[in-house]
Each structure stands twice: as structure tokens, then as C-alpha cells.
Amino acid sequence: MSQRNISPPVRRGPGLTGILSVLVLAACAQPGGTAHADAGANASGTGNAPANAAPTAPVTPATPTATRQNAGTRPSSGAAGGSAVAIFAGGCFWCMEPPYDALPGVISTESGYIGGHVVRPTYEQVSAGGTGHAEAVRVTYDPRRIGYPKLLEVFWHNIDPVAVDRQFCDGGDQYRSAIFPVDDEQRRQAAASKAALQADPRFRQPIATRIEAAATFYPAEGYHQDYYKKNPVRYKYYRYSCGRDRRLQEIWGDAP
């Protein structure tokens, strides 16, 4: 693709599509999470979030069949059965699960909150801002089948790396892009990957994506998990209304 300066999109006033998206669709950035929570209620039959459990010591990352609870876990590189863990924040976590679920070697993905100062945060708290957490996805993978560099590549091609404290239509530091390495090797590879991206002549602005310290990861409420599978129409409408794919095409073209 041709080289060009990639700048964050300018937000414009809502047209009819934007107004309908507010009325009909649960978008990630709704203050207080009301619309998003309603979407989860429609999918699960209840609007109540699962009861939060007390924080625990480091435990084995959840598998696809594990019971999801909002019990914080400290990340570690190793997991049961020789699997490994990677954590990425790329805006609305609904949209970050699909690209990783599609990769051979990825065992599971889990949406959650990381990088803040509130213990056992709820979606309503995080989406309102002020907790310091980012919406993120925890990827459990088999390092014998897929490496961390590939996970980094997929991460970059699913975000806007020059957007500051926002991704697409979702604004606030809870939607910042960030990488949370779980060990020194992941941190080294993440830093090298970011430096290579900054050297790309397409990006004349600083790469805004942060590389943050490992922190407690709190799984999100159950109705957020696999949202794109449980509510495909609403998910696709949200994604379209948010302009995510249009912006990704503008930045990356047809790159994977």
C-alpha cells in the first residue's frame, strides 16, 4: 500500500446511523454501561452481573470451559499443559476476541479489566472512567503452535496505534491501547515491535500504545464474554457504527 501520514480520525456529529446506534445498540462507551448491560441482559436473560469473588493468589489462566468470575489474577507466562498467556488492550474488548479466536494455536480468549487501582471493578465502574483500568483481552495460547510475535502482529493490525486514550468511537483511558507483558521476554518483544512500528514511515505521529507493567487481570462479567458469538447482529452493528473497520482499512489496507 502507498505510504501516507496516518492521523486519528476527526469525530463528526452523529447522523441518522449514529443516532440509531445510540438508541438500538449497546456500545462499549455508554456512560455507566447502561446500554451495554442491557445488551448483556438480553443475551443472558438477566441484567445482573455475576457476583464478584475475592482476589486470589496467582492461578492457572481460565480455559474455555472454566467458570468465569471477577476474581483478579496476577499474570504469569506459564500455564497448565505448557500453554502461555498474553494480555492486550485494544479498545472495546468485544472486538478484540474474534481476531485471536481465529488463530490456530490460540486456546481461549477472555475479556476483562486491567491496569487500574480499584479491586474487582465492575463494567459500570470501568466504562464510567476513573478506575484506571483498560478493557483488555487475555489470550491463552500454545507457544508450540503460535508465538508471541504473531500475537503482537495481530494486535497492531486490529487497533489504531496513534490514537491517544481512545479507540475508534470509544473515548477515555479505559479504551486506551496497551500491551501488558507478563514476563521480561514478552516485554522485550513488545518494545521491539513498537519501535519497528514507529519507524514505519506511515506513522509520523508517536505510537500512542503503551507498554504497561503486569497487573491484576479481572475477568469481565459473563455477558461480555464471547459477545460477538452470542449477539452477532448487535455486535456487527456496533462495530460498523463505531467505524472500526473503516479506520483499520485506512491504516492497514488489506493486511491481516
SS (H, E, C) 5-67: CCCCCCCCCCCHHHHHHHHHCCCCCCHHHHHHHHHHHHHHCCCCCCCCCCCCCCCCCCCCCCC
% of the chain exceeding 90 in pLDDT: 67
pLDDT at 60 over 50: no
Please, what sign has the CA dihedral across residues 57, 59, 62, 66? negative
Q: Candidates 3.40.50.300, 1.25.40.340, 2.60.120.10, 3.30.1060.10; correct CATH number of 16-48+68-252?
A: 3.30.1060.10
Mean pLDDT of the chain: 80
- Provide mean pLDDT across the span 40-49: 39
Domain ranges of the chain: 16-48+68-252
Report helix angle 232-242 to 16-24, nearest 10.
140
Structure confidence at residue 79 (pLDDT): 56
pLDDT band of residue 255 (cuts 50, 70, 90) is low
Comparing CA positions, the residue from 113, 86, 109, 64 lying closest to residue 216 is: 113
Structure confidence at residue 254 (pLDDT): 73
- Provide mean pLDDT across the span 54-68: 36
Catalytic residues: 92
| Separation of alpha carbons 164 and 96, rounded Å | 18
CB atoms within 10 A of CB 209: 26
Burial level of 2, CB count in 10 A (0-12/13-18/19+)?
exposed
Burial level of 201, CB count in 10 A (0-12/13-18/19+)?
exposed
Structure confidence at residue 71 (pLDDT): 63
Q: How far is CA 208 from the centre of its chain?
A: 15
List, for residues 86-140, the tens digit of each pLDDT value.
Answer: 999 999 999 999 999 999 999 999 999 999 999 999 999 999 999 999 999 999 9
Tell me phi and psi for residue 37, to 5 degrees: -65, -40
Contact of 90 with 103, CB cutoff 8 Å: no
Greater confidence, 59 or 127? 127
Q: Residues 6 or more apart from 148 whose CB is under 8 A from it?
A: 84, 86, 185, 186, 189
Structure confidence at residue 51 (pLDDT): 37
Q: Which of 41-45, 62-66, 68-72, 178-182 has the lowest mean pLDDT?
A: 62-66
pLDDT at 43 over 80: no
Write the DSSP symbol of residue 115.
S
